């Protein structure tokens, strides 16, 4: 729904560039999945519809990897921010991509 999907120009432009020299190439829509199942469903829908998928982290990349040169759906994973497992014993942690 609306809080998890945006086609607003400002939001699309924010997600259409990183710190690289490449010009902004915004996606057609930005979505904020909050669970692995939602990512899977969205990816399957994009695949079936032959729509490009663009993952977005923080937008600090230097390669232009978030530029949606062919449009598509931007997956902003920042809301997937849970820490699933923390082991102080072996210094390991399992986190979602937004952590």
CATH number, domain of 58, equals: 3.30.43.10
CA angle 19, 23, 24 (to 5 degrees): 85
Domain count of the chain? 1
pLDDT in tens, the chain (99 residues): 789 999 999 999 999 998 999 999 999 999 999 999 999 999 999 999 999 999 998 888 888 889 999 999 999 999 999 999 999 999 999 999 888
> Can you list the alpha helix ranges (DSSP code H) found in 1-99?
9-14, 36-49
- Look up the domain containing 28 and give its range: 2-95
């Amino acid at each position: 729904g609306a809080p998890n999907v945006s086609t607003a120009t400002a939001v699309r432009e924010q997600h259409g560039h990183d710190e690289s020299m490449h010009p902004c190439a915004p996606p057609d829509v930005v979505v904020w999945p909050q669970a692995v199942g939602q990512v899977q469903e969205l990816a399957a829908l994009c695949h079936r519809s032959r729509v490009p998928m663009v993952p977005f982290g923080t937008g600090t990349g230097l390669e232009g990897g978030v530029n949606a040169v062919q449009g598509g759906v931007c997956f902003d994973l920042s809301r997937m921010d849970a820490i699933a497992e923390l082991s102080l014993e072996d210094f390991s942690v399992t986190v979602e991509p937004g952590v």
